[in-house]
Amino acid sequence: MSSALTRDEAQLRAQLLDVHHYAVTLDLTTGDETFDSATVIRFSARTPGDTFLELKPEELRSVELDGHPLDPSTLDGSRLPLTGLAEGPHELRVDTRMRYSRTGEGLHRFTDPEDGETYVYTQMFMDDVQRVFPAFDQPDLKAVFEFTVTAPSHWYVLANGITTRTGDREGDGAGIWTSAPTPVISTYLAAVAAGPWHSVRTDHAGLPFALHCRRSLAPHLDADAEEILSVTKDCFDRYHEKFAEPYPFDSYDQAFVPEFNAGAMENPGLVTFRDEFIFRSAVTDTERQRRAMVIAHEMAHMWFGDLVTLRWWDDIWLNESFAEYMGYQTLVEATRFTGTWTEFGMERKPWGYDADQRPSTHPVAPDAVPDTASALLNFDGISYAKGASALRQLVAWLGEKDFLDGINTHFTRHKFANASLADFVDSLAAHTERDVHAWADVWLRTTGVDTLSPRIEENASGWTLTVDHHGSRPHHIGVGLYDRVPGRRDLELRERLSLDVPSDEVLSVSGPRPALVLLNDGDLGYAKIRLDATSVETALRSLSALPDPLTRAVVWNSLRDMVRDGELEPDAYLETARAHLPDEQDLAIVQGVLAFARTHIAARYVAPAQRTAALATITDTARALLRRTEDGSDPGLRLAAVRVRIDSATQPDTLATWLADGTVPGGPELDPELRWRILARLAVLGAVGESDITAALAADPTATGEEGAARCRAALPSAEAKEAAWNRLFHDDTLSNYLFSATAQGFWQPEQADLVQDYVPRYYPEAIAVAARRGPAIGDAAGRWAFPAHAVDEDNLRAGRACLEDPELIPLLRRKLVDQLDDLARALRVRTAG
C-alpha cells in the first residue's frame, strides 16, 4: 500500500475524527541507531466508523485502544487500521522503537566531527512525523502537543513550548524534560531538538527569545547574535503593528541545526534553520540580508501557517507565498536591509520565472493536489517567488490598507483552525469593491509567464506607446522613461507612468522618445519584459548608468530572459556584464549577474570550445571588480569578486599562489570557505591531489571541512577518484544528505567531460535506484546535484527522457528530472540559436 495520504482519505478522516491531544515520550539514550517513542493520543469519533493511524517504526512493540490491545502485525506499510470505532472519546497508546535519520527526515542525528558532541532535531514536514511518533497525519487534524524527553545528562531539550528539566533518571543521571502544552497545531509543525546547545537568551515583549547552535559554532553565533536578535525583534514588532492577532505561542526559539535540508522550518515556538546561517567565514552583506529575510519569512509563518493553517496541500501558497512576501516587505520596513526587493528580483524571481516555463509548472493555487507525494513537488519557485510576486501585484492593485484589513479578518475568522483559498478571498472581498475572486482566478489558478513588449511609434508631435500582451493576466505596472544626460553617460528618469495591461489604449506622449522605455519599472509585476530595439541598444551601452538598482534589476532580468529564449547572444550578455558590473553599486545585482554568467552561460549555453573564452570574460570582470576594491572600500564586493575569480579560473597558477600565501593580494586573507573553494577548483584543474585534501581536512576537521573534502575528492580528474565518488553516491547508503550533496557537486565538471562520459548513461538507472532505497531527500539531492547538467547533447536528453517511463521512479526525483531535462533542452536550443 502506498504511504501517500490522498486528499479524499484526508477529507473522510477529518469528517470522522476530532483529535485533541498528543502526549509524546521520547528516550534518546538507547543508542546511536534508534530511539524509543511512546505516544498517547486522545481523540473522538463523531460517528461509528473505521480509520487508520500512520507511523513508520523500526519496531512496533504494542498498541492499545481504550485499554484493549491491538495486533501490531496489522501495520500495513505506514498504516495501522483502527476498525469499529464507537462514537465518542478514545485513547490510543502506541509503543515503538524508531530509527534516527541521516537524511534530514524525521529525527535527524548528527555527531560533530570537531568535538564529538551529538545533536538531534526533528523535521516533521509532510509525512515525516511518522518517523518519530504515530499520528493522524494531516494538517486539518490539529491538536495540543506535549513532549517528555529523556536525554543524556549534559543535553538541553527544546520543543514548541517552554521546556523544563523535571528530574534525572536514576542510575545514569539522564535528564527528563517536559514541554509546556502547545495551542492546537498541525502534526507537521510539532518539533523537538536536543543536544549540548550553545545558547544566547534574552526577553522581548514579555516572551523568552533564544538562539541555539552546536558548541563548535559558539564563537560564530556570539559574533552575530546581536544582529540576529535585532532582526528578530524588529520583525516581531513590525508584525504586531501589521497584524491584529498577537504572536500566539509562549516563546520564540531559533535553533541553527546541522545537515538541514531546507533553509528553515516554521515550527511554532521553535524555528529550525540550517546552521550555515551561522557564518564561520566572511560573507557579503547580501548574504546577511538573505539570512535576515529567512528570519522574517519564518516569523511570518507564525501567523501564515501556524495560527491559520491550510486545510490541504493545494493551498501551500497560503503559507509560502505570504511568508515570502511578508519577509521581504517587512525587512524593508523594519530593518537596515532596505534593498531586499532588488535581491528578490535578481535571485527569487528568476527562480519563479524558470519554474513557470517548464512542463512541470502548476498554478500558484492548484485546483486539487491528489496526495502528499504530489504536494511535496509544489514547494518550488512558483509557490514561493511567483506567489509572492502575485501578492505584491495584489497589494499594488488593491492598496495596502485593504490588503492588511483582509488579512486581519482572515486571522480573526480562522485562528487556531484551518482555511482555504476561498476563505482567504472572502476575507479580502469584505474590505474592497474590487473583484478579488476574479483576480484570484486569473492569477492563482493559471500557469505560465506573460510577456509584455513595448511597441513605439514616433510622429510629428511626439511618440506613442502600445503594450503587446502575450498571456492572460491583468498587470498593474510602472513604465519608466529614461533620457541620456547631455555631456554625461548617465541616464535620468524623465517620468514614470502607471499603466494597466491589457488595454486597448494607445498612450500618446509629447516630446522626443526616450533613450530607454522600460515596462515594469519598479518590478511590481510578474511578467517577462521585452525592450524595443532602441532601448536594447541603450541598455547594452548604458545599463549601469540607470539611477535605481531595482530598475537595473528589471533590465538585467530582461536580458537574461532574452538569452534563455535565444533572442540575445550569450556573448552579448557576458560583454554587457564586463562593461557594466565594474560600475555596479548593488551587490545583489553583481552576484546575480555573475552567477547566471558562470553557471548557465559558461557551463551550458556556449559550446565546449567557447567555454574557456566565456570564463575569461567572467574572470576579466572579476579582476575589474578587484581593482575597484583595492582600497578596501567595499569588502563584500571584493569577496564576491574573489569567489568568482576562483570559480572561473582556467589555469591553476594564481590560485596556487593565493593558497600558498594564505591571502589574496590586497586581501582578504583566506578563511576556511575560501581555502576549500580554491582547493576544489585546483582539484578540477588537476593541480592538487589526495594528500593536499587530507592535509586540508586535518587543518579544518569540521563538518564543513568534511563536506569540502568530499567535494574535492569527487572533483579529482582521475578514473580512480571518479569511480570511488560514484560508489559513495550510489552504492554506499551511509552518506548523510550533506555529504551526498557535496560529493555530487564535485563529480561532474565541464572540464572533465571526456573522463566522465561513460557515467552519463549510468546516472539514470542508478539515481532511480538510490532514490527508491533512500527516500525523497536523497532523491531530491540526486536530481538536483548529481544530474549530468554539463552534458548538453542529444544522447543525454534522449536517455533522460527514456528514464521517465521507469515505474520505480519516485515522484520527487521524477519532477527534478523533468525540470533538468527541460533546462537541458533549452540549453541545446540556445546553442543552436547562437
Task: Please state the three-class secondary structure of 170-203 as a single string.
Answer: CCCCCEEEEECCCCCECHHHCCEEEECCEEEEEE
C-alpha cell at 515: 533613450
For 221-259, letters b (16+ CB in 10 Å) and e give beebbeebbebbbbbbebbeebbebebbbbbbbbbbbbb
Provide the pLDDT for residue 510: 86
Q: Which long-range contacts (CB under 8 A, 24 or more apart) does 557-562 make?
A: 557/345, 557/346, 557/349, 557/350, 557/353, 557/529, 558/528, 558/529, 558/530, 558/531, 560/350, 560/596, 561/353, 561/528, 561/529, 562/530
Residues with Cβ within 8 Å of 39's Cβ and at least 6 positions away in sequence, in order, are 22, 23, 24, 25, 92, 93, 94, 96, 133, 134
Provide the pLDDT for residue 2: 53
Taking the chain (834 residues) in consecutive chunks of 10 residues, what is each chunk's mean pLDDT? 84 98 98 98 98 98 98 98 98 98 98 98 96 98 98 98 97 96 98 98 98 98 98 98 97 98 97 98 97 98 98 95 97 97 97 97 93 92 96 93 97 97 96 95 96 94 93 94 88 93 86 95 96 95 95 98 97 97 96 97 97 98 96 95 98 98 97 98 98 98 98 98 98 96 98 97 98 96 98 97 96 97 98 82
State the Cα–Cα distance between residues 827 and 601, nearest whole angstrom. 9
Which one is catalytic: 259, 287, 298, 324? 298
Query: Are residues 300 and 243 in contact, defined by beta-carbon separation less than 8 angstroms?
Result: no
* Integer angstrom CA distances of residue 33 from 181, 546, 708: 29, 58, 26
Q: What CATH number has the domain spanning 7-196?
A: 2.60.40.1730
Query: Are residues 803 and 833 in contact, defined by beta-carbon separation less than 8 angstroms?
Result: no
| Count of CB atoms situated within 10 Å of the CB of 363 | 21
State the Cα–Cα distance between residues 206 and 233, nearest whole angstrom. 12
Query: Are residues 52 and 3 in contact, defined by beta-carbon separation less than 8 angstroms?
Result: no
Provide the pLDDT for residue 489: 78
State the Cα–Cα distance between residues 403 and 348, nearest whole angstrom. 23
Bridge-based pairing state of the strands 528-529 and 451-459: parallel
Helix, strand or coil, per DSSP, at residue 378: helix
298 among known catalytic residues: yes
* Integer angstrom CA distances of residue 328 from 237, 285, 524: 15, 15, 13
Residues with Cβ within 8 Å of 312's Cβ and at least 6 positions away in sequence, in order, are 7, 10, 11, 138, 139, 140, 369, 420
Query: Are residues 815 and 777 in contact, defined by beta-carbon separation less than 8 angstroms?
Result: no
Would the CA dihedral through 196, 197, 202, 205 be positive or negative? negative
Provide the pLDDT for residue 507: 86
| Count of CB atoms situated within 10 Å of the CB of 118 | 17
Helices (H), 716-833: 719-730, 737-747, 753-756, 759-774, 776-784, 794-803, 811-833
Host H or E run for residue 608: helix 608-628
Provide the pLDDT for residue 1: 39
State the Cα–Cα distance between residues 323 and 317, nearest whole angstrom. 9
Query: What backbone torsions phi and psi does residue 310 show, to the nearest 5 degrees?
Result: -55, 150
Host H or E run for residue 705: helix 703-715
Provide the pLDDT for residue 834: 62
